[in-house]
Amino acid sequence: MTRILIVEDRDSLREMLEDFLSEKHYVFSSPSAEDAERHLIHYPDIVLCDLKLPGKSGLDFIDIVKERCPESEVIIMTAFGDIPTAVEAMKKGAFDFIPKPLDLDLLGIILEKAKERILMKRRIVAGNENIEMVGESPSFKAAISLSKKYAKSNVPVLVTGESGTGKELVARYIHLNSEKKEGIFLAINSSAIPEHLFESELFGYEKGAFTGAAGSKKGLIETAEGGTVFFDEIGDMPYVLQGKILRLIELGEYQRIGGNTVARTDVRFIFATSKDLESLVKKGVFREDLYNRLSIFRIVLPPLRERVEDIPLLARYFAKMFAVELNKKEIVLREKTINSLIQREWRGNVRELKNLIEKWTILGEVKLDETPSYAKSISVTVSPEGTYRSYIDMFERKLFEFYLRKHNGNKLAVAKELNMNYKTLLKKLLRYGL
């Protein structure tokens, strides 16, 4: 469901909009821009904001939203007399404006167009590549937001996350949003190339550099000139090569084996790992200076168990995709099936879900007995932009999600198990759009 943040100081109008929108959307609301800032941790899809507010104005709030949540679309509400200011708001990045008194039918049309715009931002078609980033969870949208920010410059990016979370997909997404998008995207598995061949494969060699070097050969870095090189599982890279990788990142320089000249490269570097690099540094198998350089621009991909609201979206997306790719009838994912998928542990993350839907499509049937129970644990992903308040909000949200799944949406049962006042629970669930 789409997340909508309403920023309106008039209580009656704000409450009316909450009632109107909450049937089909997750809704958050605030009486001021200052108060609304705390809701940006949830990465709202759409911000419906009054132009004139106490304290910071709607114009001021556009800048804040675009800085923290660049994927969010802002719709300005304004009186007829302030139309010129609303036009100024659109120049600052607002998606559209709607005059007061509000026409709810018109508002519905504008919201649908805004949702289409958001989906288009996550869909990239370039040549034979078609990348679509599917998900509505705050942690997923935080990762996409950072991806777009980092794509605008040539800084080296580190993507971390468990196996199967989509690290290479994010790397390709960054590449296709960057100025290098016309160049090659070259993926290198750091653990797949034998250590004694790694340097020659990476940097190339000159004729006679070693026994068997009958001629000179380009390395992978030279092959990717003008494009992007993606080092997967950088934690597995041989220690002796890590210093040369650091030099390559910082100075853009390398040397062919047996060569006498230093070459410069114009390549964008993206790295990924499923390992804890900091612990590898402590063990002495990963260079601390390289780790410090890579961790500056980092994207953390959450495991699927921490973005359960995306499971129905991903499952249905894969069902449609495989029906087309395999020329099969699209499998029907009923509510019982979706609920069963939500309960699964997903140790293999998105890749495991994708493989399961592919298998069901090939078989032409859904086999629920293959779905084990959900793990009895809650965890919070630490991100570079996190604050104490954001972690408290994140944990509370995951806590309520966990117990709502456990009790199949029975809010009274959740309140009883948590020994919590029922009305307080309802207010919390409304706040988090649950």
- What single string gives the DSSP state of each residue in 283-352? HTSS-HHHHHHHTTSEEEPPPGGG-GGGHHHHHHHHHHHHHHHTT-PPPP--HHHHHHHHTS--TTHHHH
pLDDT for residue 381: 64
Mind spelling out the 3-state secondary structure of 115-148? HHHHHHHCEEEECCEEEECCCCCHHHHHHHHHHH
Judge contact between 135 and 349, C-beta under 8 A. no
With residues binned 3-state (H G I as helix, E B as strand, rest as coil), the percentages for the chain, rounded to 5, are: 50, 15, 35
3-class state of residue 359 by DSSP: helix
Do 3-121 and 128-300 agree at the fold level? Answer: yes
Six-digit token pair at 415? Answer: 């309140």
Asked if the 128-300 domain carries CATH number 3.40.50.300, the reply is yes
Cα–Cα distance list, 179 to 154, 268, 278, 364 (Å): 8, 10, 31, 43
β-pair partners for 4: 27, 46
204, containing H or E segment: strand 204-205
What letters, b where the CB count within 10 A reaches 16 and e where it falls short, cover 353-373?
A: bbebbbebbeeeebeeeebee
DSSP code for 257: B
The domain segmentation of the chain, as residue ranges, is: 3-121, 128-300, 304-370, 388-431
Task: For the domain covering 304-370, report its CATH number.
Answer: 1.10.8.60
Asked if the 388-431 domain carries CATH number 1.10.10, the reply is yes
Angle, in degrees to the nearest 10, between helices 311-325 and 349-363: 50
Judge contact between 209 and 219, C-beta under 8 A. no
Among 227, 135, 128, residue whose Cα is nearest residue 174: 227
CA atoms within 13 A on the CB side of 62: 24
pLDDT for residue 222: 87
DSSP code for 93: T
pLDDT for residue 371: 46
Task: For the domain covering 3-121, report its CATH number.
Answer: 3.40.50.2300
Among 64, 183, 141, 409, residue whose Cα is nearest residue 300: 141
Amino acid identity, position 198: F
pLDDT for residue 8: 92
pLDDT for residue 296: 92
pLDDT for residue 123: 72
What is the distance between the alpha carbons of residues 17 and 98, in angstroms, rounded to a whole number? 13
Amino acid identity, position 392: I
Q: What is the pLDDT along the chain (434 residues), one digit of tens a residue?
A: 788 999 999 999 999 999 889 878 888 899 999 989 888 877 888 999 998 888 898 888 998 998 888 778 999 998 766 777 777 888 888 898 888 888 999 999 999 999 888 877 777 655 556 778 888 888 888 888 889 889 988 999 999 999 999 999 999 999 988 999 889 899 988 877 777 777 888 888 887 777 777 778 888 888 889 999 999 999 988 888 898 889 889 988 888 888 788 888 889 999 999 999 999 999 999 999 999 999 999 999 988 888 888 899 999 999 998 998 899 999 999 888 888 888 788 888 999 999 999 999 998 888 875 544 545 556 666 665 667 777 787 788 888 887 877 776 677 778 877 888 877 888 888 777 77
pLDDT for residue 408: 65
Among 386, 403, 402, 393, residue whose Cα is nearest residue 428: 393
pLDDT for residue 386: 64
3-class state of residue 99 by DSSP: strand
**Residue 17, Cβ neighbours under 10 Å: how many?**
21
